Amino acid sequence: MYYPCALEYEYDEEALSCALTALRDRTPGLIIYGGEEPGGQCGLEGCPGRSTTVAIAADGTALSQSCRKEPLQDESGSAGVGPLWPPEYFQECLDRPVPSDRYACLGDILETSTPACGN
């Protein structure tokens, strides 16, 4: 039995600002985010979802790894390494008034990306 996923994201605005600030300032460390995705089909086995881990290096590069899960399917993922967008990009994201618009910036953090981990 399937039903439409009518999820609506709730954003932790403090955590979102913290992540974008760390990306802007090139603060070395990890950022982990994700959750169930609105849309698609959900069933007893759950809803579609995505998780992303970003490791920021002191030199302004980052490794970004995303995993996507679909109910009743194997997880799929990708990883890339490259330079972060310039700080001005992340500042513009921080200045956006709508949380979903700020969150959208986390989907594209690398200026260029080289596949990592055999992808």
Query: Tens-of-pLDDT digits for all 119 residues of the chain?
Result: 344 455 556 788 999 999 999 999 999 999 988 776 655 666 666 666 778 899 999 998 999 988 877 766 766 677 888 999 999 999 999 999 999 899 889 888 888 777 776 54
The whole-number pLDDT of residue 39 equals 58
Q: What residue spans define the domains of the chain?
A: 2-115
The whole-number pLDDT of residue 72 equals 67
Give the long-range contacts of residues 6-11, CB within 8 A, separation 24 or more: 6/38, 7/36, 7/37, 7/38, 7/47, 8/38, 9/35, 9/38, 9/100, 9/103, 11/99, 11/100, 11/102, 11/103
φ/ψ bin of 50: left (φ > 0), alpha (ψ from -120 to 50), beta (otherwise)? beta
The whole-number pLDDT of residue 67 equals 81
